[in-house]
Amino acid sequence: MDSKDTLLQLSKTMPKTELHLHIEGTFEAEQMFAIAQRNQVPLKYQSVEALKAAYQFTNLQDFLDLYYQGMSVLLHEVDFYDLTMAYLTKVHEENVVHVEIFFDPQGHLSRGVAFETQITGIYRALQDAQQQWGMSFKLIMSFLRHLSEESAFETLELAKPFLNWIDGVGLDSSELGHPPEKFLRVFEACQALGLKVTAHAGEEGPPEYVWQAIEQIKVDRIDHGNRALEDEKLVAVIKEQELTLTVCPLSNLKLCVVNDMTDHPIKDMLALGLKATVNSDDPAYFGGYMQANYNALINDSDINKAELYQLAVNGITGSWMDQELKYQHLDTLKSLFS
């Protein structure tokens, strides 16, 4: 039996991937205030402390209300660069070797910030991290599901000149009342352009939304997927299709998707043969980055060495990185855990 200290140490040294990360959700309060001041944009809160004190959520919408307010100070390319670089610097120190990052163009277009401004800042930071540290990356444009499919189509048009920078598309924001099927046609258009597809499903929404994501949208993976466990047939389909679930433990705790980390379903997912991975979602709001998520699972959910290994392996195999790179990281993992 390995001690928690051994597992914590292993989790630190092992190469990690991040497959579910909203770049706007990495906006630390300190940086938000600094950029607000630089751009002369007023914030609703008087201080960093007052803002952080508001990070008490009872559901997804509570969080989203603050998330959209926070991102409203991002105006210029340099803001998007600084935000992305701050995140990449942090996770590089945690031995994250590959990131797949969501951005929410509609959250900025609505404030008059051009698509080009957003993506150029984010992409330049990703390229710099790749050059400096060899960190590989994919970029995922996410559609806001509380808006219309027409708005998603308009966003796709704006994205077309930048398709060589975009690897996939996602679906996020308020889940309840906005099922995946609402976006069926726009996802078909994305797939026709060769883009990968993922969707948030089963975070708060019912198993039916996960069915729609798989059977109608034909997603390449599922973001969250917690509520899929309520439906045995759905679990069997996810397993048979070897769909990766991008699970976010600290996010689930902060948004009351689980009551306690000891109740987190990630061990059950692994036991059922599902390809669960560990991710941080919106780390500036939820209490920690990649390492903090692993620490919480080791300390409070009692994951063992075999489970830790499986989570790390799933993060590599479920990513969209090149096959050759996958083999390299899998070899490193194998020798670390042997």
25 binds, among Zn ion, ligand ADE, none (CB under 5 to 8 A by kind): ligand ADE
Q: Which residue is nearest to Zn ion (CB)?
A: 281
Rounded CA separation 21/18 (Å): 7
* Residue 281 C-beta: closest distance to Zn ion, Å: 5
Closest contact distance (angstroms) between CB of 110 and Zn ion is 19
Identity of the residue, 63 or 294, whose beta carbon is nearer to ligand ADE in the bound complex: 63
Q: Write the binding mask 268 to 287 for Zn ion: x where contact by CB under 5 A, - elsewhere.
A: -------------x------
Give the one entry of ligand ADE, Zn ion, none that residue 98 binds, where binding means its C-beta sits below a cut-off of 5 to 8 angstroms depending on kind: none
Shortest CB 56 distance to ligand ADE, Å: 16
CA-based nearest residue to 170, from 193, 151, 186:
186
The option from Zn ion, ligand ADE, none interacting with 173 (CB < 5 to 8 A, set by class) reads ligand ADE
Give 81 or 209: the residue with its C-beta nearer to ligand ADE. Answer: 209
Toward Zn ion, which CB reaches closer, 28 or 281? 281
The minimum distance between CB 249 and Zn ion, in angstroms, equals 13
Q: Closest separation between CB of residue 227 and ligand ADE, Å? A: 13
Tokens representing 112 are: 């008059």
Nearer to Zn ion, 77 or 281 (CB): 281
- Of these partners, Zn ion, ligand ADE, none, which one is at the site of residue 118 (CB under 5 to 8 Å by kind)? none
Active site residue 203: yes
- Catalytic annotation, pick one of 24, 100, 203, 204: 203
User: In terms of CB distance, is 67 or 211 closer to ligand ADE?
Assistant: 67
CB atoms within 10 A of CB 64: 19
Q: How far is the CB of 305 from ligand ADE (least distance, A)?
A: 29
Tell me which residues touch ligand ADE (CB under 6 A): 22, 25, 60, 67, 172-173, 200, 203, 251, 281-282
The entry of ligand ADE, Zn ion, none near residue 253 (CB within 5 to 8 angstroms by kind) is: none
C-beta nearest to ligand ADE: residue: 172
Judged by the rule CB under 5 A, the positions of this chain that interact with Zn ion are 281
Return the active site residues: 203
